[in-house]
Every structure is written in structure tokens, then in C-alpha cells.
Amino acid sequence: MTDTSNAPDAIRRSGRWVFVTGVTLLCLWVLVPIYLLMVNALSAPAEVTAFPKRFWPSFDTASLEFFFGFRGVVDALWNSVKVAAVTMVLAIGLGAPAGYALSRFDFPGKEAFRFLVIMTRAFPLPLLALPLAVMFIRTGLDDTILGLALVHATLALPFAVLITFSLFSGIPLELEEAAWTLGCTRVQAFIKVVLPLAAPGIAASAVFAFVISWNEVFAAAVLTIENRTLTAFLLQSLDVSPLHLKFAGGAALVIPALLFIFAVRKYLFAMWGIANR
């Protein structure tokens, strides 16, 4: 790489330079807008609406304090966490057994189930919230954490099935068979052999389900009135809220996202490799 002196190397080096510039530009394309949002979130309200803007934050927490002090914000934030947590439990609790069944057994009806799961991809799922709003009023699930989590779980479940399917497929059946011959029952073998190997991946897909719920706007806005999630809260106050409230809210949405993706970064690509099919 650091070789010098002859012509092909010079070309390679200039090619390398173009390559590095390209990668840097792509990274900046992703990072700079986030940085600018953070500048706004970490500046005083007066600076957020001032003109021209400075390109570095003044580290004044007044905007954030205003945001967290704003009526309903803390509740909305907490609702978002609760809905996402319930979604996560539902998606993995229902999805992982299905993923395991798909990876380990051949049985009639397997293709039909896979078709059902793949089909969900062709549908804009947040629209489910429209008819469910009525159904939920009848069953008393309207405007509840569980009601919204059920819809979000429909969004996350297909992913959970496909991702856990790919995870379990990556664990050799021979390991389980060895455990059976050593006297383990099917359940014991699963708990002692398969689960420890799959656990980190399952945790990653759980985080993924969390993110799907955390970010969902449409269903949350349709299904909640009093118990709004943060996204629904921000959406419904878009027209009326001052800029610094919007930007602090944006930052509150973005920062967890950064952490979630960081937490699952190792699994992101492995998860999608087989989930493609």
C-alpha cells in the first residue's frame, strides 16, 4: 500500500485517494445532518431561531430543559419505551419458536407459513391501524400500550421470524443430535446447547424489533390519543410547537437509534443474509 516510485503505483495511489475521498464524503453525508440537529438541540432557544446560525453548539441545555419540562413529553417518552418493550417481547416470543420450527423441521404447511410471512412484506402494515382502531374501541384496547404494541408487533414479527430462522439455521443440527445421544431431551438440548449459541443473535433481533416500534409514526398517531408515544406526540404538535422543541424532540428520537444500531452492528448483516429469502 505504501510502495513508491513506479508508474502503476502512482495510478493506484491516486485511485486510492479518490476512493478514500468517496468514502469520506459518504460518511459525511450520513453524519453531518445528525451533527447539525445536535447543534440545534444543544443550543439555547434564542440561538435556534437566530440567523445566521453558528455551526457549533453553545452547549446551552435550555432547549433540552424546555423539551423535558414540556407537558406530556416525559410521559410520551416513557410510553414509547413501554410500547417498544412489549413489542419486543411479543415479536421474539412469537417469532423465535416459528423461526426455530422453520429451520429444524420439514413438514406440510411450511411453505404456506413462509408465504404468509413473506406476504406481509408486500403490505404497508401501518395501515392496519385504521380498522383496528374500531376493533380496539370495542375490546377496550383503544389508546393503550398493549393495543399499539400489538400493531407494532405485526410489523416486527415477520422480521423476527426470518431473522431467528437464519440464526437457528446457522447452528449445526449435529450439536443438538450430540446432546440427544448424551441423554438430553429435546427441550434440554435446546436450552443447554442451542439457546446459549443463539442468545446474542436473538438479543440483536429483539433490539431490531424495539427500533421498529420506537420509530413507528402512523399507527402510533392513529391509535393513541391520551397515551401518545414520542413520535405521535411530536407529529401531532408539529404545526404548533416552536422550533427548539421540534429539534430537541428529534434529538431524543435519534440518540437511542444511534445506540441501538451500535448494539446490533455485528449482527446486522448476518441477520439480513438469510432473511433475504
Partner 1 sequence: MPRSLPYLLLLPATLFLCVFFLYPFVLVAIDAFTRNGAWTTENFTRMTGHWKFGTTFWNTMLLAAVVVPIQLVMALTMASVVTKLDRGRSTILYIFAIPLGISDLAAGLVWLTIFEQSGFLNSMLTGFGVLDKPVLFLGYQNPWAIFIAIVLAEVWRATAIMMVIIVAGMGLIPKEYGEAAEVFGASRWQRFTRVTLPMLKPSLQTALILRVILAFEVFAVVAALGGTNFPVLMGETYHWQFAMQERGVAAAYAMVILGISIAFTLVLLRLLHVPKGART
Total residues in contact with partner 1, by rule CB under 8 A? 97
Candidates 104, 170, 184, 203; binder of partner 1 (CB under 8 A) is 104
d(CA 212, CA 154): 10
42 to 54, 63, 220, 241: CA distances (angstroms)? 12, 7, 27, 17
Running DSSP on this structure, what letter comes out for residue 241?
A: S
3-state class (DSSP) for residue 70: coil
Q: Is 107 in the site for partner 1 (CB under 8 A)?
A: yes
Q: Is 228 in the site for partner 1 (CB under 8 A)?
A: no
Contact, 197 vs 173, CB < 8 A? no
At its nearest, how many Å lie between partner 1 and the CB of residue 70? Answer: 15
**In this complex, which beta carbon is closest to partner 1, that of residue 197 or of residue 235?**
235
Contact, 69 vs 275, CB < 8 A? no
Q: Is 140 in the site for partner 1 (CB under 8 A)?
A: no
Alpha helices in 4-144 (DSSP H): 7-41, 45-49, 62-69, 73-104, 110-119, 129-139
Query: x-or-dash pattern for partner 1, window 176-215, by CB under 8 A?
Result: ----------x------------------------x--xx
The helix, strand and coil proportions of the chain, stated in percent and rounded to the nearest 5, come to 80, 0, 20
Q: Is 17 in the site for partner 1 (CB under 8 A)?
A: no
Cell 400500550 appears where? 145
Q: Which stretch binds partner 1 (CB under 8 A): 70-78, 81-89, 148-156, 191-199?
A: 148-156
Query: x-or-dash pattern for partner 1, window 239-258, by CB under 8 A?
Result: x---x--xx-xx--xx-xxx
Q: Which stretch binds partner 1 (CB under 8 A): 3-11, 64-72, 175-183, 238-246?
A: 238-246
**In this complex, which beta carbon is closest to partner 1, that of residue 94 or of residue 197?**
94
| CA dihedral sign, ordered 107, 108, 112, 115 | positive
3-state class (DSSP) for residue 159: helix
Q: Is 26 in the site for partner 1 (CB under 8 A)?
A: yes
Candidates 109, 140, 183, 196; binder of partner 1 (CB under 8 A) is 109
Residues 37-66 that bind partner 1 (CB under 8 A): 37, 39-40, 48-53, 55
b/e map of 79-97 (b: 16 or more CB within 10 Å)?
A: bbbbbbbbbbebbbeebbe
Q: How many residues does this entry show for the chain?
A: 277
At its nearest, how many Å lie between partner 1 and the CB of residue 5? Answer: 22
Q: Is 68 in the site for partner 1 (CB under 8 A)?
A: no
Q: Is 12 in the site for partner 1 (CB under 8 A)?
A: no
Candidates 10, 121, 139, 178; binder of partner 1 (CB under 8 A) is 121
